[in-house]
Chain A
Amino acid sequence: MLNFLQTTGAHIIDTLSNLGKATLFLFNVLLGLKDVLLRPKVFVRELYSVGVLSMLIIIFSAIFVGMVMSLLGYITLVDFGAEESLGLLVSLSLIRELGPVLSALLFSGRAGSALTAEIGLMKATEQLASMEMMAVDPVRRIIAPRFFAGLITLPILTIIFMAIGIYSGYLVGSVWLGVDDGSFWSQMQSKVEFRHDIVNGIIKSVVFAFVVTWIAVFQGYNAMPTSEGVSRATTNSVVYSALAVLALDFILTALMFSNF
């Protein structure tokens, strides 16, 4: 019993200490904004590797998610003669929920894991320590540009995901299954509200971007400098990101869309 209490206590202290470390780390990263703005070239390079290189997986996933949504929606709606609402169904699902959540999950798998592994390996190969000895702060020079790049790119990727998903849903719904073009778009136009739906969807993606990138860079920076440590940090990065995104999604959805 005493052993159990001791182990549990040690775990709690460990978790709290890591949380404290992560918060201090985040504070330092945010202070690096000035350094990021002073080095636009470095920032653009990070935008490319974090954002542009994630485009392919986002576009492909959006195409298939939009098509599946449209197909399943049609099968359900057609029984009630409500297939004209297909556009509304596809767009609301993608804008409110699937766009932000799936983009964040894909982003953490593609860019987040790469960030963690890259930073972890830089630590393991003493590159971060060598920077410190060259009087260059690695948090501001290496971490901050990556963090802000992630913060900016995920919302943009999410908007791309939503747009492509809706269009691929349209292709399946109208071109293949024969739902009327006019109804598809007009229902969407009349029912999707800019502030309530689109802005809230984007707010979700900004929150996810913040959390996913924070987890990714912290896990890399805090990794044990061994091959096992880097591999564990990469796994943790994806797992923690996924859990954080799904839990936060519930809280945000409850705050944004529930009427109580």
Chain B
Amino acid sequence: MSDSLVSIRDVHFSWNPRREIYTGVSLEIPEGKITAIMGPSGTGKTTLLRLIGGQLRPSSGSVQVAGEEIPKLNREKLYKARRRMGMLFQSGALLTDLSVFENIAFPIREHYDFTESMIRDIVLMKLELVGLRGARDLMPSELSGGMKRRVALARAIVLDPLLMMYDEPFTGLDPVTLGTIVTLIKELNESLGLTSVIVSHDIRETFSIADHVCILSEGIIVAAGSPEELMNSDSEFVQQFVNGKPDGPMPFHYPAGDYTQDLLDGDI
């Protein structure tokens, strides 16, 4: 795919030599689209975002964002590249000692020498986008989980990134806030011309807005395609994951020895 903003090729990564998280992940993230990376818990979906953001380096393989080889950038260039990336963390990750307004103003103050009135205008515009202009003076501790995530979203887009990464954006939200976040991701992607990557295991919400879905399991991409293609896939694994069946190619049981023998051993 020539029009991809992020290109990941044959990436290997491990936290320790005994357990390799990726055994050759390759995927392309097309520009201007919403790409979802899905998979069971513990397969390293968030790790993939950290590799794209340069917070982690792969053991081997290539991670390119807008043509730049992220793992090979020096500190200065990496920080420059990150100005074009936004990331929404699962917890929101707001700076707890700053108000909502100051949290959103933080990246601007750090990188630009704007006047107070310019900063104010930019922050209020971003807050209006997420519907929280009225909450500007609140502290993070006074916000609900959904509001925190919306503030974090406003902060993530404040430097007008090319690429937005969402780490589990739908987890732990009430149905109304969930709907708001789903709509916001879709609308922001269209109105700001972003490229979005969503890491999630919430099938319904993700499939409703994603243009392209990749399923990650056992260190590789096991399936990829549009939501419709995956829903109609013949693969047993994809069917188990998409329909949430408890047992299948992805076993319910953690590997263990013989059950009867295990019980008998306890009598000794």
Where the two chains meet, the residues of A that have a C-beta atom closer than 8 Å to any C-beta of B are: 125-127, 129-137, 141
Contact = CB atoms under 8 A, between A and B. Distances in A.
9 contacts: A126-B91, A129-B55, A130-B87, A130-B152, A132-B55, A135-B83, A135-B110, A135-B111, A136-B107
A132 B107 CA distance: 11
Nearest to B95: A127
Nearest to B106: A134
Given A126-B89, A141-B110, A133 B95 contact: no
Nearest to B158: A134
Interface in B7-65: 53, 55
Which of B82, B93, B96 is packed against the most chain A CB atoms within 10 Å?
B93
B93 A135 contact: no
Given A134-B159, A135-B107, A136-B110, A129 B82 contact: no
A129 B89 CA distance: 9
Contact of B82 (A125, A127, A132, A141): A132
Interface of B: 53, 55, 75, 79-80, 82-83, 85-87, 89-91, 93-96, 106-107, 110-111, 152, 155, 159
Contacts of B155: 134
Contacts of B85: 133
B89 A134 contact: no
A134 B55 contact: no
A125 B91 contact: yes
A129 B93 contact: yes
B55 A133 contact: yes
Contacts of A131: 95
B79 A135 contact: yes
Given A133-B55, A134-B107, A141-B110, A125 B79 contact: no
Given A135-B79, A137-B79, A127 B107 contact: no
A95 B152 CA distance: 51
A126 B110 contact: no
B196 to A, nearest CB: 15
B115 to A, nearest CB: 17
B50 to A, nearest CB: 8
Contacts of B94: 127, 130
The 9 closest A-B pairs by CB, nearest first: A130-B93, A126-B93, A135-B82, A133-B87, A135-B79, A134-B107, A135-B83, A126-B89, A136-B110
